[in-house]
Amino acid sequence: MEIRKITTITEEILTEGGKEVDPVINIAVVAAVIKNPWHGQGFVEDLNPGIDEVASDVGAVLAPRVVELLGGKLEAYGKAAIVGLDGEIEHGSALIHTLKFGNHFRDAANATTLLPAVEKRGTAGIVFDIPLKHFTDATIRSHHQTFECRVADAPHADEILIALAGSSGGRPQERLAALSTEQ
């Protein structure tokens, strides 16, 4: 795995709707910009060798950093793969939609749910939203949210930007009724 750079984004939400957020909600994103392992090979039928070579390693790099940035308090999480223009969206999907990648985050966060994801292809500096959901119960509405990201110089055409995001809580000032009230 060739990592060109790792970018970290953090945010503290102190007020929402003109009202103090208590406790403060922290959000952290850690993104690795890596060389696309299938770049320059034309259409690759079997992506498994590249998955085996990269997915676990990139998950092992990103997951503990997100948990550390949140001080171990993670309640919602998500992932992203943004593929440079010379790659296929499937290249990003192949790396993040495998337990070899995702289990690093689930284990680091003591989580049980599947990570929501975004995958897309784009130019350097593309804006993307990482969806977040509760880490143990995907039906908890208060934790369904997105976090907007951008890495100014990534991905290059031959790269993939892989990111993990976590939040210390749900949406600030959430007021929706529980899903069970509609069932």
pLDDT digits (tens, 9 = 90+) for 90-99: 999 999 999 9
Distances (CA, A) of 180 to 76, 139, 177: 20, 9, 8
Region 60-87: mean pLDDT is 97
Q: CA–CA separation, 135 vs 20, rounded Å? A: 25
* Residue span of the structural domain in which 49 resides: 3-182
| Total length of the chain | 183
Above 90 in pLDDT, residue 180?
no
**76-83/117-121 β-pairing:** parallel
CATH number at residue 134: 3.30.1330.110
Tally of structural domains, the chain: 1
pTM of the predicted structure, to 2 decimals: 0.95
Phi-psi region of 87 (alpha: psi -120 to 50; beta: other; left: phi over 0): beta
pLDDT tens, residue by residue, 53-68: 999 999 999 999 999 9
Q: CA–CA separation, 8 vs 24, rounded Å? A: 19
- Cα 48 to chain centroid distance, Å, stands at 21
Phi, psi of 93 (to 5 degrees): -60, -40
Q: Which residues pair with 171 in a beta bridge?
A: none
